[in-house]
Amino acid sequence: AGAPVATALASGAAIAGAMLEREACRVGAALQGDDLDVARRAVARLVGRRTDMLDATEVTRAVIETVAENTVDAVTATLFWATVGGSPGALVHRAVNTMDAMVGHRTDRHERFGWASARLDDAMNWLPARLTVAAVVIAAPSRATDVWRTVRRDAGKHPSPNGGVVEAAFAASLGVRLGGTNVYEGVAEDRGELGDGRAPVAHDVGRAVALARRVTLVFAVGGIVAERGVRRARGASLGRSRRRD
């Protein structure tokens, strides 16, 4: 019983999904109240891009994109590594992800030191990001065809090997268009256009949060089933070994 408890504690300490949801809803509420200045300041706590000149559509896009990407970074990838490696797996993932957030940016100061953490974070999130796409399909089955098509077509336009995958999946599931040009430390970066739906509006923030919740539930259930399957397989293997002895 100790290992599952340790895994649960480590996962609970590591997963930042509740905080992400709370901050995203704060931005959504400001947008719905037509308070663009508050929305800009609130979304600045969630994203690295320049936000003070964004219009309401761009603020909405920013918050939906960060909900999508951080659903992997802060939730599903940690659940995946907790399932695979128990509490050490969960905590190692959070350590790598935190290091990437702190020094993984492409700046002169962190170019060499941050490169390794950024690449390791990409590697650890590669499979969880793609499993998250499958979870999006399960969470929104009526949009399954659009999700798969959009991910295959658009994910490669994004500079992140994992961010593009999950943002494209969220865009297709929500029926909105994400991606575009962001400004980071005075430098404009084209992140491609993800999805072919309409421009996102304020109420789509709540829809994105609700989708992230469903995806988390699907992922958690899948992790429990996988963990039990591994235990049964190990138990059966041990039983056969003892009979042979």
Please give the model's pTM, rounded to 2 decimal places. 0.87
Q: What is the pLDDT of residue 109?
A: 52
Query: Is residue 175 within 8 Å of residue 30, measured between CB atoms?
Result: no
Sign, Cα dihedral of 206, 132, 179, 42: positive
Residue 239 confidence (pLDDT) above 80: no
**Average pLDDT, stretch 64-72?**
96
- Of the CA atoms within 13 Å of residue 65, those in its CB half-sphere come to 30
Give percent of the chain with pLDDT exceeding 90: 57
Q: What is the C-alpha separation between 195 and 170, in angstroms, rounded?
A: 9
* Token pair listed for 157: 């336009």
Residue 215 confidence (pLDDT) above 90: yes
Q: For residue 61, count CB atoms less than 10 angstroms from its CB and return exposed for 0-12, middle for 13-18, buried for 19 or more.
A: buried
* Token pair listed for 219: 């992922």
20 φ, ψ (degrees, to nearest 5) = -60, -45
CB atoms closer than 10 angstroms to residue 159: 11
Sign, Cα dihedral of 17, 19, 22, 26: negative
What pLDDT band is residue 8 in, cutting at 50, 70 and 90? low
Q: What is the C-alpha separation between 219 and 245, in angstroms, rounded?
A: 39
The tens digit of pLDDT for each residue in 107-157 reads 555 555 556 667 888 999 999 999 999 999 999 999 999 999 999 999 999
Give the containing element (helix H, strand E) for 65.
Answer: helix 56-71
Q: What is the pLDDT of residue 91?
A: 80
Q: What is the pLDDT of residue 34?
A: 96
**Average pLDDT, stretch 24-37?**
97
Q: What is the C-alpha separation between 75 and 188, in angstroms, rounded?
A: 29
Residue 10 confidence (pLDDT) above 60: no
Q: Check residue 200 and report its DSSP letter.
A: P
What pLDDT band is residue 82 in, cutting at 50, 70 and 90? confident
Residue with the bigger pLDDT between 125 and 15: it is: 125
Q: What is the pLDDT of residue 1?
A: 47
